[in-house]
Chain A
Amino acid sequence: MKCAEIHPNLAAFVLGGLETEEAAEIWQHLDSCPGCQSELQELRKVNRALDAAPPPAAPPAYLKREILSRVRAEQLPASNKAGRAEKSSSLEGQRRSHRTSRFNRFKELRIVLPSTAAAALVAMIALGVFFGFLREETPVATIQLIPAPQEAVGLKGYWGVAEIRPQPSGNQQVELKLNNFEEPKPNSYYELWFVSGDRRISAGSFTSVGEGETRVLLNVAPEARNYRTLLITEEHVDERPASGEEVALKGKVP
């Protein structure tokens, strides 16, 4: 065999990935070819370096979100100060403040809420249809987020949709689609509640990605069928397992 035929196979040879007959031909050629022997030594260096390589592995996908979330959280105090300074300085400052991203505006709004609800935005969710009218697997509700009057400024373009489907078990499946819904604070999560008067039934907890669309699939017990208000609250880890006071979103069956 000629060198030109050997060279393309040398890497596979070093890897031990050739058939026995092919490897034997290469051994035979190497015995009498210093050039190919030299090439072989170079390729073996690569092989030894590969011994040191980490195995193919990627960190879990949530890690990136956590890192960006922490960056965002650490940036927040500075951006809030800047926002307040702008608002107090001039009308132009206020206009600029209104042009900030929904995310920043959302964060800012949370600051001015009463302490009992300080960490959350209140918005109204209008349900399109009653649960009882819905057929199996047919989305039962189209939920639009309608910001409450005091929160309306700066929330244009903020929307959410919930689709509710009755399940054979009697449970109601709730598919929540939230666009640019801010991530909860560190050590916090969101919880969806069906509310009637002072009674609440939890449909489960979730988090959100902050940017882009967050899709959440939750289930609520059949008893929630007549609970016609939806609340999304922000809950804190390690607190009592009851609903919190920090209401993020709120909706009523019309």
Chain B
Amino acid sequence: MTQRADEPSDERLMINLDGPGVEAALSKLYDRYSRTVFGVGLKILGDRSMAEELVQEVFLKVWRSAHTFDPARGSFSTWLYRVTRSVALDLYRKRASRVRPVSNGTPHIAAARDSSDGPQEVVDESWLSWRMSRALEMLDAPHREVIDLAYFGGLSQREISERTGVPLGTVKTRTASAYKSLRKELAVQGTSQEVIR
């Protein structure tokens, strides 16, 4: 979601979480970040219901732990990523050690995710996923649309033009412009990478 210049910053909203405007502030933060938390949750956990649980736990933690956020130490996005990673790890471990009854009545430990990577490796890969999701969220709707259709939908530029009714030249221009924005956004976010590791 692109953020208008006259809207309160994430940091301002975090301050508002400790006051009468808590619901409005949390609601706005949710609108800005829930897609990223959910999407990254899907990548880490590979399960829609777990990703939903992640979203719920993360935003409740944002509210409960707002006092631990220090803007001097990094952006809200970086802090929220760390919260998301922590909650995702907890959920991952919880699921991996889930006890499931089998037909003979003997419980056994069932690993719900078939992956050779350990939870830490899987979660660590999510930082790039997070940054890319945030970069995509910063695109406005027309530019986001061409990326969604071209990259995730696999459509050619001509097919996008035909589907959306937007002239082919405009589709190409938007694609080029979207890539330029993504590149710029990733470069900006990349400077805070050391905070994560």
Contact = CB atoms under 8 A, between A and B. Distances in A.
Interface of A: 7-12, 14-19, 42-43, 45-47, 49-50, 52-60, 63-64, 66-68, 70-72, 75
Interface centre among A52, A66, A72 (most CB of B within 10 A): A52
Q: Is the interface of B mostly helix, strand, loop or mixed?
A: helix
Interface of B: 22-23, 26-27, 30, 34-40, 42-43, 51-52, 55-56, 59-60, 63, 125, 128-129, 131-133, 135-136, 147-148, 150-152, 155-160, 172-173, 175-176, 178-180, 182-183, 186
A206 B131 CA distance: 40
Given A17-B160, A19-B158, A57-B38, A66 B129 contact: no
A54 B129 contact: yes
Nearest to B20: A101
B132 A49 contact: yes
A19 B176 contact: no
Nearest to B31: A64
A11 to B, nearest CB: 4
Given A12-B157, A53-B133, A63-B52, A7 B175 contact: no
Q: Is the interface of A mostly helix, strand, loop or mixed?
A: helix
Contact of A71 (B23, B155, B178, B183): B23
21 contacts: A11-B176, A15-B150, A15-B151, A17-B157, A19-B156, A43-B179, A47-B151, A50-B182, A52-B43, A52-B128, A53-B136, A54-B43, A55-B152, A56-B152, A57-B42, A58-B35, A59-B34, A64-B27, A67-B26, A67-B59, A68-B27
